[in-house]
Amino acid sequence: MAASATLHCLAGCAVGEIVGLVVGTAFGLGNAAVIPLSIGLAFVFGFTLSAVPLLGAGLAPTSVVKLVVAADTLSIATMELVDNGVVAVVPGALNAGLVNPTFWWSMMLSLVVAYLVAYPVNLLLLRRGQGHALTHGQMATGSRRPHGPRIDVTVLAVGLAAFMCGGLLVSIADASATSTWSTAPQMWSPAAGRAPQPAPKEVHP
């Protein structure tokens, strides 16, 4: 159950961070705005993944909010602290754009490290009857059987991994194409107006 709980938090954090970084890049926001935005969205999506099945089980919204905050806050906070710490120490990661390979591989690395660090935290919480043990207990005692949309966290995590791998491959291809274009010899064409002139020879006295 600890692995499932950690993957659950990881999926929510990943969705929030990706959305935050994409929004920040699209609007040209600086790191001072993007980082808090991504962290805030990570909590929102993480809490939402826990809240949906609880609401489907018939729990009152106010009870659900209190429950997911108590169950997920420590796990998500641990992930965000480690995740952002890893990205911060990777050279150029904070300023890398969406078409920069560093953006994608540093994000994947940070999420893997965050999972490894958050796993023992979730394991300890479960052994104490806290964390996701609280939400599972409430699901079992809900007023009715769960209904509505079911979120398969494993499928979501696989989809996120595929999305990030795709982003990495696209950014590598873009960087390769840009490098090839910049190093290719310039060709003269009539539209260019005139042929490239040779560099002047040095004259020695």
Q: Average of pLDDT values for 184-200?
A: 50
Which pLDDT does position 185 carry in this prediction? 54
Burial tier of 81 (Cβ tally within 10 Å: 0-12, 13-18, 19+): middle
Q: Average of pLDDT values for 102-107?
A: 91
Residue 49 pLDDT level (bands cut at 50, 70, 90):
confident
Quick check: 93 pLDDT over 70? yes
Quick check: 14 pLDDT over 80? yes
Quick check: 112 pLDDT over 60? yes
From residue 134, alpha-carbon distances to 50, 72, 140 in Å are 11, 10, 10
Taking the domains of the chain in order of start, what are their residue ranges? 2-179
pTM: 0.76
In DSSP notation, 17-34 reads HHHHHHHHHHTT--HHHH
pLDDT tens-digit map of 52-80: 888 887 888 888 888 888 888 999 999 99
**The pair of three-digit structure tokens given for residue 140, joined into one six-digit string:** 């079992």
Which pLDDT does position 82 carry in this prediction? 93
For the chain, where are the alpha helices, taking DSSP H only?
2-26, 31-56, 61-89, 101-127, 132-140, 153-183
pLDDT tens-digit map of 122-135: 888 888 777 666 66
Would you say 3 and 16 are in contact if contact means Cβ atoms under 8 Å apart? no
Question: In angstroms, rounded to a whole number, what is the distance separating the alpha carbons of residues 69 and 50?
Answer: 9
Question: In angstroms, rounded to a whole number, what is the distance separating the alpha carbons of residues 183 and 1?
Answer: 53
The candidate with the shortest Cα–Cα distance to 91, out of 81, 78, 101, is 101
